[in-house]
Chain A
Amino acid sequence: MNANGWIQLSLFVALLAAMTKPIGRYLVQVLDPDGRTWLDPLVRPLERLTYRAMGIRPDREQDWRQYARSVLILGLVGIAFTYAILRFQKHLPMNPAGLDSLPPHLAFNTAVSFVTNTDWQSYAGESTMSQFSQMVALTLHNFLSAATGMGVAAALVRGIARRGATTIGNFWVDLVRVTYYLMLPACTAFAVFLVSQGVVQNFSPNTTARLVEPTTITVEKTDASGAVVKGADGKALTEEKTIDTQTIAQGPMASQVAVKMLGTNGGGYTNANAAHPFENPTPLSNFIQMLSIFAIASGLTWYLGHATGNQAHGWAVWSAMALLFVAGTLVAWWAEAAGNPIHQALGVAAGDGNLEGKEVRFGIFSSALFATVTTDASCGAVNSMHDSFTAIGGLVPLFNMQLGEVVFGGVGAGLYGMLVFVVLAVFIAGLMVGRTPEYLGKKIGAFEVKMSMLALLATTVAILGFSAWAAASPWGIAGLNNAGPHGLSEILYAFSSAAANNGSAFAGLTASTPWYDTTLAIGMLAGRYLMIVPILALAGSLARKKAVPAGEGTFPVSGPTFVVLLIGTVVLVGALNFLPALALGPVVEHFVALQGTLR
């Protein structure tokens, strides 16, 4: 843990705090159907045209049921659309590498993954997806899924802010406005910046380069039909193979990287994601990419404060998020800087910390920070191998996702997830001030508690249920590349990543099997829609309520006490559920490693 890291961390938090208000102010305009932005002259006509073409009545708001129905329709249509494109990829244009169509389970998994803002990739992008699939089938959802999350968050905030109202906004208007006024312009600008750093943006076929230093590897010998040739003893024969060329991926990467970060999608153009020099070429691009993951989510807290007329509350939520973020970063950084105890015992690179699976360009701090940021938010882009982190270093991203990614979180999803915890914190602790609990003047009753707990239950059931199934079933075990506690961590990570709609992979798990593709897809659907529907119900119920004016006896939702309370609720209610499972995975792994063994 060096000075460089401390300076970067301080700078990161300071910049994040500084950009919260400007972004928040802009969001206020975007999320208001009559809001004004400096883009109006350019975009307003396009917006109106879209409404007319799609038959949207921007003046007609929806109640929570209609809003939820719209979200579900978009999701369903989106999944069907992307599934179809991926299944027919071979016959579609812009496929210079001549890539084949995807098998059904992979197409289903990928379609769900991108529609739910997860961007879990059971495939290597550059060798599976044509440029057409990347740009139309996937990138489309990078925008729409981000806008959906923000729409739901805005609907919940409206529900909290409105009094005696039946409607919580119009989903289609939110979708169009977020896409036109926020995501498209911001991503365009960000892509231009990325290009300036050296990120590629082209439609060229992949380049084949001749290696300066050819290498030789040992592979299984195959016959003409591709079957493995076996020797007399029944074992596969091997042969030496010389590698003297390398295929370098090309394509429209800058635009994809921009939206994968700003929209907390996380799906990389290349398999190596943000560790690939073309996606993340410089220290500056790395730093700004991390910042861009949090940017919109951070601004949304200001939007919350503005909409509810209680900016101190917005900042209290921000502070709780920031503290949880810093704590996670410090633990991950400490664990990685301390290195692998087994290596230390052997005297291997003892002083350098754990550099396995990390880009030396980024080093330990930037890798630990990136891992924390990407899992605090539901981004899932990675610039290092989380699988290669130490047990505790890997525990942090896992834990972040299991919290429900409420530490800034995905665009929109982070805020609405956190607000569920706010409602629960207010309910439990609100009683302690001697009133039936109120959140910003609105009574929290049985219905609100029920919806909040339903939203929390969805991810818990998906993570624990599927992990347990995987751990006990031959299909689940088949995918594992590591045995022992680390193998369990890999399973837990995969389902946590899916249910929390993160999309980052611990790697080390062969997840491109029909069983994993299907269960992970169901986990993603549960983590997204089984959360959104109760949250919209919560929004609808809150919107209808009258608000009691604040006074001395009102439960305070700002200030240090509330921040501590909120953090306590997130940790106790959100994470206690996963402790036994974590104990069997990374926790045991850590203590076993301290003794110098692996299991």
Chain B
Amino acid sequence: MNTQAPSLLDRNIVGPAVAEAFRKLDPRSMVRNPVMFVTLVGAVLTTLGIFTATAADRGFVAQLAVWLWFTVLFANFAEAVAEGRGKAQARSLRGTRVGTLARRVAPDGSVDTLNAAELRKGDVVLVAAGETIPADGDVIAGAATVDEAAITGESAPVIRESGGDRSAVTGGTRVLSDEIRIRVTANPGEGFLDRMISLVEGASRQKTPNEIALTILLAALTLVFLLVCVTLHPLGSYSGVAFAIPVLVALLVCLIPTTIGGLLGAIGIAGMDRLLRRNVLATSGRAVEAAGDVDVLLLDKTGTITLGNRQATEFLPAPGIAIERLADAAQLASLADETPEGRSIAVLAKAKFQLRGRDVAHARARFVPFTAQTRMSGVDLEGADGNATRRIRKGAAAAMRGFVDREGGGFPDAVARDVDAVARAGGTPLVVADGRDVLGVVHLKDVVKGGIRERFAQLRKMGIRTVMITGDNKLTAAAIAAEAGVDDFLAEATPEDKLALIRREQEGGRMVAMIGDGTNDAPALAQADVGVAMNTGTQAAKEAGNMVDLDSNPTKLIEIIEIGKQLLMTRGSLTTFSIANDVAKYFAIIPAMLMATFPAIGALNVMRLASPHSAILSAVIFNALVIVALIPLALRGVAYRPLGALAILRRNLLVYGLGGILVPFAGIKLIDLLLVQIHLV
């Protein structure tokens, strides 16, 4: 469900955000942001200054006060919009849960019906086909197909069963078949979605470490400029210049980094929002920040590097069986099989032996679909002339051994050896049987995803090392690693190996990201700096990681890293922009402040601003408007390209550093012209 970002002018978000901007004027919440708090105090002082100003200056001071209030409100508005968008996104994910009824099973076996909101951690509920799962939990009995479209947007149902790595279910999803018992693992309001929502809401939002460091820098700069403006008064009185308080406030507000100070909160929230829009739930802002720092990426081979679905590449007939017979049977068993593996078998048979897909959709053919219980699929062909029914099946070796046993046949040793050989080579052996006869093995092989090689090259350029994790043996792993272009691989990986690998990398000072789903991944997910659990995975895995990918798409990790980097880049770029802005503002305000006493200083008025009042007002207005102008950038994030650090630095330094010096010259001049045009000064 990669929903489009809502339009910036979405009425449902902007309306409440305007109201929220005023509500955030509460000094108790403003004090969390030192830069804007100083601006707020400045606005109050200037407002008071209206009453003490001379009649000639009153209009000017009043305008100044209005724009200073706007500066504060714009900053509040930016944060409110970011929060609004995040909340809207989260609400759309949560919407389905409201009003769900749950059937709770008491320890004595009795069942009562209650509202989902009343469920508590540890409760066991019963959910049958057609019902909505009332809360996050683990399947403890049964297996079912579940429609998770509500949260993932993926329409194909998924299997959820007790035990193993597919036991986790998410509240709000719907059971399509069978009945399962679920143990609730989260109290209402404590699920992943709830936690995510609290992360984009102002009140409970915790500042991330980098945000704290940046806030300290901004606070210190504010302190420095406060000192500059306070000391300017006595220095001016020496020179015979009496600076009015509103003018000093104007200078102060222009110098302190209000641009980044006003947008800092919005940037952080927007980062979470962008994650959410890609269907990733983060449990902390810290995790998003860490994602930008990742040095090593641990990727599971299957589904990430190779197509999760293997492709048939070879038929290995059992002794005494013609290869054509194997191919024919395999194709028959796969004709109605719409899985990529099934289709690949039909295609291979056609390519190798010109066996065309036959029209078997007549009454005498009955397809046996794959089920979680039988673990095989195939077709029953009714004999044309009263012959016995042909029961063709294909499936994993263990399941097929059971099948031929039941049919009264035996499993040839040669086939078993073929099965082993295929497995050793990194492939998946699929045994085909026609009734009691085992016909042979189909070799399903990993196919490296198209474009993944380029993706890894980009990552390498960004300084990120990729390590492929696989249960395959070393030879196979090496072959696939070379084909995919990963930097390193860990073969025959056990959960302990994974954990050890992560620890080793971290000891070298590197930040590690990994994605996993199984319970046995949980320790590694917990150890990794960025641990992304797949939504299809177990609750244990989800609890251990610090993000959950609702799409369960392993490639998502790369996008998560990009979002993390984008978040940090946006902060840095706007900080640089904010500080660089001061140069032009000095050129606007300093000559204006001194012009009356020292007309000669007019030479420094390089922008040729109309009058001292228009110059100061223009600088303050520019300072306020630039916050609004940059809201879209703060929400969208600075454009990210997978380049080396030096190239990115050069580009951003040019755009936001040099641009930050030049843009305000043009902006202030433009506002000045406008002010004069409409006779506001």
Chain A residues proximal to chain B, CB less than 8 Å: 163, 424, 427-436, 441, 444-446, 448-450, 453-454, 456-457, 460-461, 464-465, 467-469, 471-472, 477, 484-485, 487-488, 546-549, 551-556, 559, 561, 564-565, 568, 572-573, 576-581, 583-584, 587-588, 591-592, 594-595
B463 and A553: CB pair below 8 A? yes
The distance in angstroms between the C-alpha atoms of A447 and B228, with both chains bound, is 24
The distance in angstroms between the C-alpha atoms of A468 and B230, with both chains bound, is 9
A432 and B293: CB pair below 8 A? no
User: Contacts of B573 on A, CB cut-off 8 Å?
Assistant: 431-432
Distance in Å: Cβ of A427 to nearest Cβ of chain B: 7
User: Contacts of B220 on A, CB cut-off 8 Å?
Assistant: 449-450, 453-454, 456-457
Residue of A nearest to B229 (CB): A580
- Identify which of A457, A553, A564, A573 gathers the most chain B CB atoms within 10 Å of its CB: A553
Distance in Å: Cβ of A315 to nearest Cβ of chain B: 16
Is B441 on the interface with A (CB-CB < 8 A)?
Answer: no
Contact of A595 among B565, B586, B590, B600 (CB under 8 A): B600
Told that A457-B223, A548-B295 touch, could you supply 19 new A-B pairs with CB distance under 8 A? A431-B210, A431-B214, A432-B573, A432-B649, A433-B645, A453-B216, A456-B220, A465-B227, A468-B231, A488-B238, A561-B649, A564-B653, A565-B649, A576-B583, A580-B229, A580-B232, A584-B238, A584-B239, A591-B603
A552 and B645: CB pair below 8 A? yes
If A460-B227, A552-B463 touch, whether A467 touches B217 (CB-CB below 8 Å) is no
Q: What are 11 pairs between A and B in contact, CB < 8 Å?
A: A432-B576, A432-B653, A434-B568, A450-B220, A468-B230, A546-B509, A555-B649, A577-B224, A580-B251, A584-B238, A584-B241
A592 and B227: CB pair below 8 A? no
User: Contacts of B648 on A, CB cut-off 8 Å?
Assistant: 432-434
The distance in angstroms between the C-alpha atoms of A103 and B209, with both chains bound, is 53
Contact of A584 among B223, B224, B594, B604 (CB under 8 A): B594
The distance in angstroms between the C-alpha atoms of A564 and B237, with both chains bound, is 38
A435 and B292: CB pair below 8 A? yes
The distance in angstroms between the C-alpha atoms of A553 and B648, with both chains bound, is 9
Distance in Å: Cβ of A492 to nearest Cβ of chain B: 8
If A428-B576, A436-B292, A561-B650 touch, whether A464 touches B227 (CB-CB below 8 Å) is yes
A553 and B604: CB pair below 8 A? no
Binary flags per residue of B616-656, CB closer than 8 Å to A gives 1, else 0:
00000000000000000000000010001110111011001
Residues of B344-396 at the interface with A, using a CB-CB cut-off of 8 Å, are none
User: Contacts of B465 on A, CB cut-off 8 Å?
Assistant: 551
If A472-B238, A555-B649 touch, whether A428 touches B582 (CB-CB below 8 Å) is no
The distance in angstroms between the C-alpha atoms of A561 and B209, with both chains bound, is 27
B601 and A591: CB pair below 8 A? yes
User: Contacts of B22 on A, CB cut-off 8 Å?
Assistant: none
Q: 5 nearest interchain CB pairs?
A: A553-B463, A431-B572, A434-B565, A453-B220, A472-B234
Is B255 on the interface with A (CB-CB < 8 A)?
Answer: yes
A552 and B461: CB pair below 8 A? yes
B579 and A572: CB pair below 8 A? yes
User: Contacts of A453 on B, CB cut-off 8 Å?
Assistant: 216-217, 220-221
User: Contacts of B656 on A, CB cut-off 8 Å?
Assistant: 432
Distance in Å: Cβ of A256 to nearest Cβ of chain B: 37
B572 and A429: CB pair below 8 A? yes
Is B213 on the interface with A (CB-CB < 8 A)?
Answer: yes
Residue of A nearest to B603 (CB): A591
The distance in angstroms between the C-alpha atoms of A465 and B239, with both chains bound, is 16
Is B66 on the interface with A (CB-CB < 8 A)?
Answer: no
The distance in angstroms between the C-alpha atoms of A427 and B509, with both chains bound, is 19
User: Contacts of A477 on B, CB cut-off 8 Å?
Assistant: 238
The distance in angstroms between the C-alpha atoms of A472 and B243, with both chains bound, is 14
Distance in Å: Cβ of B35 to nearest Cβ of chain A: 14
A436 and B463: CB pair below 8 A? no
B292 and A434: CB pair below 8 A? yes
B590 and A554: CB pair below 8 A? no
B594 and A583: CB pair below 8 A? yes
Is B236 on the interface with A (CB-CB < 8 A)?
Answer: yes
| Number of A-B contacts defined by CB within 8 Å | 217
If A434-B640, A580-B251, A592-B598 touch, whether A553 touches B239 (CB-CB below 8 Å) is no
Distance in Å: Cβ of B60 to nearest Cβ of chain A: 20
User: Contacts of B210 on A, CB cut-off 8 Å?
Assistant: 431, 436, 445
The distance in angstroms between the C-alpha atoms of A551 and B644, with both chains bound, is 9
Is B78 on the interface with A (CB-CB < 8 A)?
Answer: no
The distance in angstroms between the C-alpha atoms of A583 and B602, with both chains bound, is 12
User: Contacts of A464 on B, CB cut-off 8 Å?
Assistant: 227-228, 231
Residues of B491-536 at the interface with A, using a CB-CB cut-off of 8 Å, are 507-511
Is B242 on the interface with A (CB-CB < 8 A)?
Answer: no
B209 and A584: CB pair below 8 A? no
Distance in Å: Cβ of B488 to nearest Cβ of chain A: 14
Contact of B576 among A429, A450, A576 (CB under 8 A): A429
A587 and B604: CB pair below 8 A? yes
Chain B residues proximal to chain A, CB less than 8 Å: 209-210, 212-214, 216-217, 220-221, 223-225, 227-239, 241, 251, 255, 289, 292-293, 295, 460-465, 507-511, 564-566, 568-569, 571-573, 575-576, 579-580, 582-583, 586, 590, 593-594, 598, 600-601, 603-604, 640, 644-646, 648-650, 652-653, 656-657
User: Contacts of A444 on B, CB cut-off 8 Å?
Assistant: 213
Distance in Å: Cβ of B214 to nearest Cβ of chain A: 8
A591 and B509: CB pair below 8 A? no
B241 and A436: CB pair below 8 A? no
Contact of A552 among B237, B241, B292, B644 (CB under 8 A): B644
B241 and A432: CB pair below 8 A? no
A435 and B232: CB pair below 8 A? no
A551 and B295: CB pair below 8 A? yes
B598 and A591: CB pair below 8 A? yes
B460 and A561: CB pair below 8 A? no
A431 and B293: CB pair below 8 A? no
A434 and B569: CB pair below 8 A? yes
User: Contacts of B251 on A, CB cut-off 8 Å?
Assistant: 580
B569 and A433: CB pair below 8 A? yes
If A436-B293, A464-B228, A592-B600 touch, whether A431 touches B594 (CB-CB below 8 Å) is no
B598 and A555: CB pair below 8 A? no
B572 and A591: CB pair below 8 A? no
A552 and B462: CB pair below 8 A? yes
User: Contacts of B238 on A, CB cut-off 8 Å?
Assistant: 471-472, 477, 487-488, 584
The distance in angstroms between the C-alpha atoms of A592 and B564, with both chains bound, is 53
User: Contacts of B601 on A, CB cut-off 8 Å?
Assistant: 583, 587-588, 591
Residue of A nearest to B461 (CB): A552
A446 and B213: CB pair below 8 A? yes
User: Contacts of A553 on B, CB cut-off 8 Å?
Assistant: 295, 462-464, 644-645
B650 and A584: CB pair below 8 A? no
Residue of B nearest to A461 (CB): B227
Distance in Å: Cβ of B301 to nearest Cβ of chain A: 24
The distance in angstroms between the C-alpha atoms of A450 and B510, with both chains bound, is 25
Distance in Å: Cβ of B98 to nearest Cβ of chain A: 38
Distance in Å: Cβ of A478 to nearest Cβ of chain B: 13
User: Contacts of B645 on A, CB cut-off 8 Å?
Assistant: 433, 435, 552-556
Distance in Å: Cβ of B176 to nearest Cβ of chain A: 42
The distance in angstroms between the C-alpha atoms of A433 and B228, with both chains bound, is 31
The distance in angstroms between the C-alpha atoms of A578 and B237, with both chains bound, is 17
Distance in Å: Cβ of B256 to nearest Cβ of chain A: 11
Contact of A457 among B224, B509, B575, B576 (CB under 8 A): B224
The distance in angstroms between the C-alpha atoms of A551 and B645, with both chains bound, is 9
A445 and B231: CB pair below 8 A? no
User: Contacts of A552 on B, CB cut-off 8 Å?
Assistant: 460-463, 644-645
User: Contacts of A579 on B, CB cut-off 8 Å?
Assistant: 586, 590
The distance in angstroms between the C-alpha atoms of A572 and B579, with both chains bound, is 7
The distance in angstroms between the C-alpha atoms of A464 and B223, with both chains bound, is 13
A450 and B216: CB pair below 8 A? yes
- Identify which of B214, B593, B598, B657 gathers the most chain A CB atoms within 10 Å of its CB: B598
The distance in angstroms between the C-alpha atoms of A272 and B99, with both chains bound, is 90
User: Contacts of B289 on A, CB cut-off 8 Å?
Assistant: 436
The distance in angstroms between the C-alpha atoms of A468 and B228, with both chains bound, is 10
B594 and A572: CB pair below 8 A? no
A432 and B598: CB pair below 8 A? no
